[in-house]
Amino acid sequence: METLESMQVPVEACISSSVSTAPVTTLPPRHSVLVRITHWIITLCFFALLLTGVEAAWIAVLTGLLYAISGLFTGHFRKDLLPGRADLSWRALSTSIAKPLRLERPSEAEACSYNVLQRLTYLFVIFVLFPLVIWTGLALSPAFISAFPASVTLLGGRQSARTIHFFVSVALVLFLLVHVAMVCLAGFGRRTGAMITGRTATRKEHT
């Protein structure tokens, strides 16, 4: 296989041991189909929601639910996002922070999975920021809070719900900016390609 031979990464770096005996053509995609599709739907909705749009909110929430439920069942969160015990050390954390700050491009092997900082950030965005922005958004609906008044009293009333909603939105925008910056650092074309086609195998670029 031309593409595999020219890859810079040892095959084992990208495939789990359970499938390592399978023919090379079944190399699992870097991102599953579902992750890729939901990623881009959420991206579109996110931009729409920065302006306005109840409809985009519906699509974003339904897509997010699909992603969260399938992530639980396929083990996506456990395998790809939950940091390993060994990774939760200061040394691993500081390396993952320092490397991009020195503008060091991650190796292909590193790009095959997420480092501890990425894992913690994605988990925070998926399980804290997004649920919080949905909750504080619902707390701004006079009809919703008439049925579920605790949803707004817990947040300290409408105006503080609104403040939290905006702060979380800003946090999500910051995440988006850093996310795109990191994608650029790691190679925009290749990383974006991986999120579109799922493939990471690339032509040999250097001699």
Partner 1 sequence: MIDLSRRKLILTGLAATAGASGLAVAARLAQKYGLVPPDHGGICGLGETLTFASQRLLTRHSLAREFPPSQISPRPFPNELAPLTEDFKRLQARGFAEWGLSIDGLVVQPASFSISELKSYPSRSHITELVCEEGWSYIAEWIGVPLSYVLHLVGVHPQARYVVYVSMEPNTWESIDMADALHPQTFLCYGMNGNELPVAHGGPLRMRLPRQLGYKNIKFITRLTVTDSLKKFGKGVGSAASEAGYAWYAGI
User: Looking at beta carbons only, is 49 or 194 nearer to partner 1?
Assistant: 49
**Does the protein bind partner 1 through residue 84 (CB under 8 A)?**
no
Q: How far, in Å, CA of 54 to CA of 185, rounded?
A: 34
Question: Minimum CB separation from partner 1 for residue 59, in Å?
Answer: 8
Residue owning tokens 């990208």: 14
User: Looking at beta carbons only, is 84 or 142 nearer to partner 1?
Assistant: 142
Residue owning tokens 């008439």: 146
Interface pattern 115-154 for partner 1 (x via CB under 8 A): -------------------------xxxxxxxx-x--x--
Instruction: State the CB neighbour count (10 A cutoff) for residue 126.
Output: 16
- Span 24-83, contacts to partner 1 by CB under 8 A: 53-58
The two tokens of residue 2 are: 């031309």
Instruction: State the CB neighbour count (10 A cutoff) for residue 56.
Output: 19
Which one of residues 89, 95, 159, 197 is an interface residue with partner 1 (CB under 8 A)? 159
Q: How far, in Å, CA of 166 to CA of 160, rounded?
A: 10
| Chain contacts with partner 1 (rule: CB under 8 A) | 53-58, 140-147, 149, 152, 158-159, 162
